Each structure stands twice: as C-alpha cells, then as structure tokens.
Copies of this chain bind each other. A is one copy, B any other.
Amino acid sequence: MDDDASPRWLDDEQMRSWLRLQAVIGLLPALLDQQLRHDADLTHFEYLTLAMLSQADDRSLRMSDLARRTNATLPRLSHVARRLEDRGFLRRGPAPDDGRVTVATLTEAGWHKVVASAPGHARTVLENVYDDLDRDDLHAFTRVLDTVLAHVDPHDSFGLRTGRP
C-alpha cells in the first residue's frame, strides 16, 4: 500500500512524545466537552460557534466564514446552526447583497449564553494546560505547534501563521 522503499520508524524519544501527544489529543477535547456540557449545556463545538459569532462585527458571520473559523464542514455547521436557532441562540437570514449567502447572527440570549459560559471554559483551559507552564515552556510549545501546523494546515485555513513574529 504505497509503502516507502525504506520504511522509517519513530525513535525512542519520538515515540515517548507521540504516546503523550496521542493521550492529550484523546483526553483534552473530551474534558472540555464535559465541562461545557455540564456547566452550560453546550457542546464544545456549539460553544465555539457562539464564541466566534460573539467576536465578529455585528455578532454576525456568513455561514462559510463561520465554518472556516470553527474548522467545520458546511453541512456540519448547518445542522448545528439549526439546533442553536431552535434554542434561540442565533438567527439566520439571507444576505441583502448576495441571495446565496446566509448570515448567522447571535441573539441577545446567545450573547448572554457566551458571556455566562466563557469564564468556566477559560478556567478549564488554564488549569489543564497553561497554569503550570512558565514563559519558556509556553514559547517553546507555541513554536512546536507552529511547526506542526505548517504540515497539518498547509493552506493556513485558520489564518494563524501569517503574522508570525
């Protein structure tokens, strides 16, 4: 199956690191999801959707832009948007200038929901990831993530790597 002529393997240090990375990738999202479900009755992705809207101009975004910022496919976002709309957290309407476009707008209830949920979410992130990292750790970590991102997100879909100092 498309085997390389000279199959390489991870050395001991890389394997040690890889096992840990897999554990973090497996456990951290579940933890964030749990916290938000329990405290705010929101999926992490639902929270992310509302949070992105809350930071946008007029608290509104085109579905496509929202999908890009949340790293979601358009169908996925469409489903989630319907549920969030049913719960009264956002509205969807056609764009005046382009009839194909749908713009999602955060409602007042949605805004309050984000404001109420954000601190608990931030607290979870800080406690689990950043509280025990000193500045050197933090910088090294970010630099490594940037290196990885260059491969995993070659087209810079998130717009994260453009402003590297």
Contacts and interface: CB of A to CB of B under 8 A. Distances in A.
B133 A144 contact: yes
A69 to B, nearest CB: 10
Interface size class of A (residues with CB under 8 A): 35 or more
Interface in A96-127: 116-117, 119-120, 122-123, 125-127
Interface stretch (A19-27, A59-67, A82-90): A19-27
A4 B118 CA distance: 11
Given A1-B116, A39-B2, A23 B152 contact: yes
Interface string A1-22: 1111001111001101111111
A21 B137 CA distance: 14
Given A3-B119, A147-B137, A142 B17 contact: yes
B120 A147 contact: no
A20 B125 contact: no
Contacts of A144: 133, 137, 140-141, 144
A123 B1 CA distance: 12
Query: What are the 6 tightest A-B residue pairs by CB atom distance, in nearest-first order?
Result: A7-B119, A140-B140, A20-B145, A17-B142, A128-B151, A27-B152
